[in-house]
Amino acid sequence: MTHLTHVAAPEGVLAGTGYSHVVWGEGRFVAVSGQIAVDERGELVGADDPAAQARQVFANLDRCLAAAGAGWSDVVKLTFFVTDVAFLPAVREARDAYVDTERPPASSAVQVAALFRPELLLEVEAFAIVPAASTVPAARP
């Protein structure tokens, strides 16, 4: 039995495509700051390539979730900030390599005029709820 409940479409609400309208659960709350397409050295991955940037962003999210003892099955909400909504198919493709598409998290997508570095095309933040019994890995220095 999972610690999360997904409601794809509450009564009277049109079902979304690729997200749940409502997700709730019990456990420890985890917030992951917006991740961008930079590697561990701070170098941009995928200049002018939304698919490459999306893959790096989701790899970074994966690492951040793991640092909190969380996994993708614990994610309850994703927020996508894109400089062009035309990038959303590439973002969804990267996302679908990580999330259970049968039980997707709640999601929001926002087109923004710019991100804090002009070469960035997208940023994604995540919220998760980890079962209360799970432990947090030891912090790295």
Look-up of token digits 């912090």: 139
Asked, for residue 92, whether it belongs to a domain, the answer is yes
Nearest 5°: phi and psi at 26? -120, 140
Is pLDDT at 44 greater than 70 in this prediction?
yes
| 16 found inside a domain | no
Give the residue among 82, 52, 81, 77 at the shortest CA–CA distance from 65. Answer: 77
Q: What is the pLDDT of residue 87?
A: 98
Tokens in use for 30? 């985890």
Domain count, the chain: 1
Per-residue confidence (pLDDT) for residue 132, from 0 to 100: 84
Residue range 52-111, pLDDT digits in tens: 999 999 999 999 999 999 999 999 999 999 999 999 999 999 999 999 999 999 999 999
9 assigned to some structural domain: no
What is the SS3 assignment for 96?
helix
Q: What is the pTM of this model?
A: 0.91
For residue 76, give the nearest of 95, 38, 103 by alpha carbon: 103
Which residue range(s) make up the domain with 92? 31-130
Instruction: Identify whether 24 is part of a domain.
Output: no
pLDDT tens, residue by residue, 121-138 = 999 999 999 998 766 665
Q: Give the number of C-alpha atoms closer than 13 A to the C-alpha of residue 33, restricted to the C-beta side.
A: 2
Order of strands, sheet of 75-82, starting from the edge strand that comes earlier in the sequence? 28-35, 122-130, 75-82, 106-111
Higher per-residue confidence, 113 vs 137 = 113
Decide if 15 is inside a domain.
no
CATH of the domain at 94: 3.30.1330.40
The answer to whether position 135 is within a domain reads: no
Let me know if residue 39 belongs to a domain. Answer: yes
User: Does the residue 25 lie in any domain?
Assistant: no
